[in-house]
A and B are shown apart, each in its own frame.
Chain A
Amino acid sequence: MSTSTVQGVAETKDGLDAYYGQFTSEREKEALGLPLRLVAAWAKNDAAGIAEVFTEDGIMILPGDVFKKGRDEVLSFMAAAFAGPFKGTGVTGRPVDVRFVADDVALIRTHGGILAPGETEIAPELAVRSTWITVKKDGKWQLAAYQNSPRGEGATLRW
């Protein structure tokens, strides 16, 4: 099952170190915990858990005409997606860029994608480039905006 692999990233120290890659400072690793929270919620197809990663008014933009504003819209949208074609899917990704635009604003870029049920590798159709605009509020990194774009010629998924 793909989701166990995805969760596995965060379950072992080696898995975590591989995920952090070149981003080894404590503040980078702290910010990089945010995508892992979304990955973990996705692995359970937990729409509320995904919405929780966002700020109250967080934005989600996906290829196709998807522009969701706020946790409630994200929750409903993801719940429907998991009821539909995304049932049983996982998601994965690795950071390629982490920048602090301000002390409490981090810009993270990841390369990743959706894992179809039973898959452990991202198919070309499902590969994405993601930007995570994260803010630290109340001591916790939260997702102010998330956007992904197709990665590679073969990335045809639209929502």
Chain B
Amino acid sequence: MTENAATLVQSAKQWATYYGGFPNGERGAAFTAALRVRAAWESNDANAFADMFVENGSMLVGDRQLTDREQIRSYMAEAFNGPHRGTKLTEEPVEIRLLTHSVALAVTDGGIIRAGADSVAAEDLARATWVIVKADGDWRIVSHQTSPIKG
């Protein structure tokens, strides 16, 4: 195996674990929206991040309430160039439900892994609620909010 292939296999193995107990089915499909947010964060890519939200998508970050996709885009662009540079996001799904055939609710535990760290610091642990909607055949984020678990 080439080194590239070995790296890909390793990354894929890790990526597959991100689905937690929801690898397949409609719930797994809905959760891909959160995984794509996670991937965008890992690349520090504000555009890819914002594009996973519906136009009037909302996100609560700390005490700042963002209420549409463009606010999210500019906030994240600034954050990835500043305090969030080199950080990663973890989001272990603990509950995923379909509220209707086109609206899903996911609860994840996780948080921001600070640059250079391997895991989320205890004081940064948060529980997130995601509202995810299926539009034009794919899933997008309507709302994301976190609450501190330990901090």
Measuring CB to CB, which residues of chain A are less than 8 angstroms from any residue of chain B?
A: 57, 59, 61-65, 67, 69, 97, 99, 101-102, 104-105, 107, 109, 129, 131, 133, 135, 144-145, 147-153, 155, 158
Provide the main secondary structure of the chain B interface.
strand
| B63 engages A150 (CB within 8 Å) | yes
Judge whether B67 is part of the interface by a CB distance below 8 angstroms: yes
CA distance A99 to B147 in the complex (A): 21
A62: chain B residues within 8 A (beta carbon): 147
B94: chain A residues within 8 A (beta carbon): 67
Which one of B6-14, B40-48, B74-82, B102-110 contacts A?
Answer: B102-110
| B67 engages A158 (CB within 8 Å) | no
CA distance A131 to B148 in the complex (A): 15
B139 to chain A, nearest CB (A): 12
| A107 engages B147 (CB within 8 Å) | no
Given contacts A63-B148, A102-B100, A133-B129, whether A145 and B105 have CB atoms under 8 Å apart is: yes
Judge whether B99 is part of the interface by a CB distance below 8 angstroms: yes
The CB with the most chain B CB atoms within 10 A, among A59, A69, A99, A144, is that of A99
- Indicate which residue in B56, B63, B99 contacts A105 across the interface (CB closer than 8 Å): B99
A64: chain B residues within 8 A (beta carbon): 148-149
Number of interface residues of B (CB under 8 A): 27
| A144 engages B60 (CB within 8 Å) | no
CA distance A100 to B148 in the complex (A): 27
A129: chain B residues within 8 A (beta carbon): 60, 63, 65, 145
| A102 engages B147 (CB within 8 Å) | no
CA distance A24 to B67 in the complex (A): 20
B65: chain A residues within 8 A (beta carbon): 109, 129
A155: chain B residues within 8 A (beta carbon): 63
Shortest Cβ distance from B102 into A: residue: A102
